[in-house]
Amino acid sequence: MTRRVVVTGLGCVTPVGNDVPTAWRNICAGQSGVGYITAFDASTFKTRIAAEVKGFDPAAVLGRKESRRMDRYTQFAVAASLEALAAARLSIPVSSPERTGVLVGTGMGGIGTLMSEMEVLRKNGPNRISPFLVPMLLADNAGGQVAIHTGARGPNHCIVSACASGTNAIGEAAEVIRRGAADVMIAGGAESTITPIGVAGFGVMGALSEQNDPPSAASRPFDKNRSGFIIGEGAGIIVLEELEYARSRKAPILAELAGYGTTDDAHHISAPLEDGSGAAMCMRLALAQAGIDPAAVDYINAHGTGTVLNDKGETRAIKDTFGAAARAVAVSSTKSMTGHLLGAAGGLEAAISVLAIRDGMIPPTINYETPDPDCDLDYTPNQLRRKTVRIVMSNSFGFGGHNAAVIFRRLPEGSE
Query: At a CB cut-off of 8 Å and minimum separation 6, what does 27 contact?
Result: 16, 334, 337, 338, 352, 363
Query: At a CB cut-off of 8 Å and minimum separation 6, what does 358 contact?
Result: 254, 255
Q: What is the DSSP letter of 180?
A: T
The one catalytic residue among 28, 340, 375, 402:
340
Active site residue 340: yes
Active site residue 268: no
The one catalytic residue among 282, 303, 375, 402:
303
If phi > 0 it is left, if psi is from -120 to 50 it is alpha, else beta; for residue 386 that is beta
The one catalytic residue among 163, 282, 375, 402:
163
| End-to-end Cα separation, the chain, in angstroms | 19
The β-bridge relationship of strands 234-242 and 5-13 is antiparallel
| 135: helix, strand or coil | helix
- The Cα angle at residue 170 between residues 244 and 109, in degrees rounded to 5: 145
Strands (DSSP E) contained in 123-244 are: 156-157, 184-191, 234-242
- The Cα angle at residue 75 between residues 63 and 90, in degrees rounded to 5: 80
Sign of the alpha-carbon dihedral angle for 116, 66, 78, 333: negative
Q: Give dist(CA 62, CA 206) in Å, integer.
A: 37
Cβ–Cβ under 8 Å, residues 100 and 185: yes
| Long-range CB pairs of 52-59, under 8 A, 24+ apart, other chains included | 52/15, 52/194, 52/232, 52/233, 53/13, 53/14, 53/15, 53/18, 53/192, 53/233, 53/234, 54/15, 54/18, 55/18, 56/13, 56/18
Cβ–Cβ under 8 Å, residues 356 and 20: no
Backbone angles phi, psi at 276, to 5 degrees: 70, 15
Q: Give dist(CA 111, CA 134) in Å, integer.
A: 11
Which residues are part of the catalytic machinery?
A: 163, 303, 340
